[in-house]
Structure 1
C-alpha cells in the first residue's frame, strides 16, 4: 500500500486548525448534519481543510465502526452544504487506507472565494426552541482549541477578510491580464547562476541518497528518469525566513496552494510520520551554509510512499524538489497499458509545474519577495510517448527524441498572480514540444486548470 499525504491524516490523526476529527455519525440525522455544516463552514473560512471520520477528540480510534462506509459520499456532504451554507461549494470525499489496513472517510473542504461562507439556516430546534449545531447568519471560523466558532471581533475577521481580498484581487488581475493580453517576459539577469548552483548541488545530494539506498525499488532507473523543480524568491533586501518556523510556514502555504492544485500528494509537504518527517540540515555537507528544511522519502529504500520525493527548502527562499515520474509507478500500467518508462502525461507535466508556480508565489508573498526565479529539469524523455491518466485523449505517435530539457525564467510576483497560466506554459511547454505536442500554451493550461484541484492518480 502506497502512502499519500491524505494517509498521514489517518496514520497520525491530530486536530489542528486545518483538521477536524469526528467519530462515526449518522449522516441522515439533521442535528449531525447541522454540526457538520458548522465545521465545514469554519474550515472553508480558514482557507480549506479536512474532516476526518473515525477518530475521537483525544485522537484515538472511534468505537462502533460501521461495516459499510458508502454513506460517506460526496452527495451526502453536498446536501449539507446546500441546506445550511451560502455561497454553496463542492466538497470532495475520499476513502483513505491507514497503515493498519482500516479505511477512513476524509472530506476535503475547499477555501472560500471572494466572499466568506455564511450559515443561511438554523439547525433543528431543541426542546427549548434553540437551534442546534448552526445558527443562521453566523460566519464560522477555526479558533484555537481547535474549535469551530462564530467570528466575533476584529482579530477573528482580519485573516478572513484578507483572504477574501486576495481572492478578489487574483481574479481581477487575471481578468485584466486576459483583457489587455499582458506579456510576461522571463528576463532577470544575475540570478541564473545562483539558482543553477542550488539546483545542481541539490541534485548531487539526492543522487548520493539514492546510491546509498540499497533496498530502494523503482521500476526504472530513477537517477535517469525524474524531474527537478526549483525556485528562488528574490527581494531587494534578501529573504530571511525563520528556520524554526519553516515547517509551519510550509504547512500554511500547502493549504493555500490547494486552491490551484490539490491532488493528495503535495509538493513540499512536511509529513509527521517520524521516519519521513522533514528535518533541518545545514546547506552543505561540511556543515556550512544556511539552514535547510529537508524531506527525504527515499531513506534507506524501505519506505512505502506514493512518490519517493526529495525536497529542500532553504531559509533564504530557495526551494527544490526531485521526483520520479508518476507514469513510471507500477500502478501506472493499469491506466495506460504501457510499461514504466515508456510514456509521459502532458496533464501531469502542466499540473506539477502549476503547483510549483503556485507554491513559489504564495511563499514569496509570505516572505516579502518581489519576484521569483525558476529552474526546471526533466530527464529520461527519449523514447517516451505522450499518453495520459483518466479520460484525456492525445493524438498517438508523439515520441521524444531528446532525453532532457531544462527551462528557466524570472517573473515579478504581481505578474505571476495576474497570469500564472502563462508562467506555467513558459516553463512546461518546451518539454512537451519535444514530443511535437502542438497547441501547448497558456490557453491549454487555463483549460486544464479545473482538473488540477481533483484527486489525481
Structure 2
C-alpha cells in the first residue's frame, strides 16, 4: 500500500525519530557513501522498520534542511540502493525507494523505506573504514542514533522483536487450519465507562476546534473515526510523566508512516498535561503544512483510558471525491495498527491485561465502498445507508497480538455489513495485516 501522504509528512519533522533518519546526499558508487546508508538501514530493520530521508542534511551532524542533489550523484533507484545496502546486510534487506519534492524548496529527495519483521537480527557482513564494522548488529537508540546494542535490555528488545516475527509466521500457518472467536462480549458498565471518557474527550476536542474557521479541514466535516480503550484492572501509571514514557515506549514499534497516538515532541502539537490527562492535538492552526489527514486529537489517562479521533483517509486523497467513499482495506490497516499499539501499551501496564474497545465511524451515509488504495476486486460498489457505525469488544493483549486477523474479522463485521454486506474475508484480512506487520507500506 502506498503511503505517500505519510512520507510527505516527514518533511515537517524538526528532528530525527527512532524510525526516521535524515542523511546528506551519499554517492552510492563508493564505500564512503554506501556504508553509512547500509548502517542506517540495518539499524532501522532491527528496529522494526523505518525511513531514511536522503538530502535533508548538508553534511553529517548538520542541522536538518533541504539540499539539492549534487550533479555528480546519480538519482537513486531501488536497484542502486539495495545493491549498496546488501553489500553489508545479512540477511539481505529489500528497501523501497520513493522520490518526493520538498514543499518549500522544490528539491527532490529520496525516501528509502526499510522493512522490519525479521526473525533474526540483521548484522553487517563486512566493514568499511570504521563507519560500519563486520559481524556487528546495529539498532536505533534514543538520541536518536544507530549503534550496537550493549545492555541486556537492548538485546532483549531486539531478540523479542525477532521472536515475535517468527511467531507471527507460525500463527499465520495455524490460522489456515483453525479459526477462533477471540473477542469477548463487553459488559454494559464497561461500555458506560468508555462512553463517559469518550464524551469528556470529545468535549475537549470540540473546545479546541472552536477557534478554527467553519470550513477548516481539522474539523473533520465530512467524516471521522474515533477509538476508545480501557486497559482493564491494571495498576495506574504513577503520573502523567510516567504515562508519557510508557506511550513513548509503545510507539517505538512503527508499522506505518503515520501511526496511532502520534507523538511529535514539540509544542504546540506535542502531548501536554491537562488536569489529570495527557492531550495532544496535531491539528493546531500554527502548523503550516497540516491537513485533515494530519490533524489527530488524542487523550490518555494514567488508569489506562485512551481516546483518539482522526479523519478518514479517503477524504484526503486525489483518488476520490471527499466524502463519497470508504476504502475496502483501510479499516483493516488503521484499526489493526491501533489495536497492536494498545496491546503493546497494555503489556507495559501489566503482564497480559484485558482491553475494552469501542470504535465509532462517523459520516458514512451515502458513501460507497471501493478499492482505492489497493488492487483488489469488488464485483460492485456497496453503498452505506447509515451515518454512524459502532464496534465494541474486549480481548486480552496476547489475543490481539497472536490472533489479530480473527479479532479484526469479528470487530469490523458490523462496519462491512453496513456497506450492503460487503465481503470481509479471512484471506483479505490476513494478507493486509501481513503487509503492515512487515512494514510493506
Normalising by structure 2, what TM-score?
0.85
Deviates most, 16-25 or 114-123: 16-25
- Contact 1:84/1:119 (8 A) holds in 2: yes
- Deviations 1:14-40 (Å, cap 9, x if unpaired)? 345544332221112133212322222
Normalising by structure 1, what TM-score?
0.82
Structure 2 residues not aligned, in runs of 5+: none
SS of structure 2 residue aligned to 1:198? helix
1:45-124 matches, cutoff 5 A = 45-54=46-55, 55=57, 56-61=60-65, 65-66=69-70, 71-98=75-102, 100-101=104-105, 102-123=107-128
- Contact 2:68/2:108 (8 A) holds in 1: no
CA distance in 1, matches of 2:72, 2:319: 27
CA distance in 1, matches of 2:50, 2:145: 13
Deviates most, 84-93 or 3-12: 3-12
CA distance in 2, matches of 1:318, 1:309: 17
Q: Does 2:204 match 1:222?
A: no
CA distance in 2, matches of 1:433, 1:415: 24
CA distance in 2, matches of 1:200, 1:84: 53
CA distance in 1, matches of 2:268, 2:151: 41
- Contact 1:13/1:59 (8 A) holds in 2: no
Please provide the CA RMSD for this pair.
3.2
CA distance in 2, matches of 1:224, 1:156: 44
Task: Specify the alignment match of 2:327 in structure 1.
Answer: 345
CA distance in 2, matches of 1:407, 1:153: 42
Deviates most, 204-213 or 108-117: 204-213
Deviation at 1:57, TM superposition (A): 0.5
Deviation at 1:302, TM superposition (A): 7.2
1:296/1:158 Cα in 2 relative to 1: closer, same or farther (>3 Å)? closer
- Deviations 1:309-360 (Å, cap 9, x if unpaired)? 222222222222212222223xx3x314xx3222111211221111221111
Task: Specify the alignment match of 1:292 in structure 2.
Answer: 278
1:240/1:146 Cα in 2 relative to 1: closer, same or farther (>3 Å)? closer
Task: Specify the alignment match of 2:369 in structure 1.
Answer: 386
Task: Specify the alignment match of 2:203 in structure 1.
Answer: 204
Structure 1 residues not aligned, in runs of 5+: 124-130, 283-289
1:325/1:19 Cα in 2 relative to 1: closer, same or farther (>3 Å)? closer
- Deviations 1:169-197 (Å, cap 9, x if unpaired)? 44445544554433313224342211121
CA distance in 1, matches of 2:238, 2:101: 35
Q: Does 2:325 match 1:324?
A: no
Task: Specify the alignment match of 1:415 in structure 2.
Answer: 399
Deviation at 1:150, TM superposition (A): 3.7
SS of structure 2 residue aligned to 1:66? coil
SS of structure 2 residue aligned to 1:313? strand
Task: Specify the alignment match of 2:135 in structure 1.
Answer: 137
1:157/1:447 Cα in 2 relative to 1: closer, same or farther (>3 Å)? closer
1:23-38 matches, cutoff 5 A = 23-38=24-39
Deviates most, 352-361 or 73-82: 73-82
SS of structure 2 residue aligned to 1:375? strand
CA distance in 1, matches of 2:396, 2:328: 26
CA distance in 1, matches of 2:94, 2:407: 28
1:171/1:223 Cα in 2 relative to 1: closer, same or farther (>3 Å)? same
CA distance in 2, matches of 1:114, 1:291: 37
- Contact 1:37/1:84 (8 A) holds in 2: yes
Deviation at 1:245, TM superposition (A): 4.3
Deviation at 1:375, TM superposition (A): 0.3
1:328/1:231 Cα in 2 relative to 1: closer, same or farther (>3 Å)? same
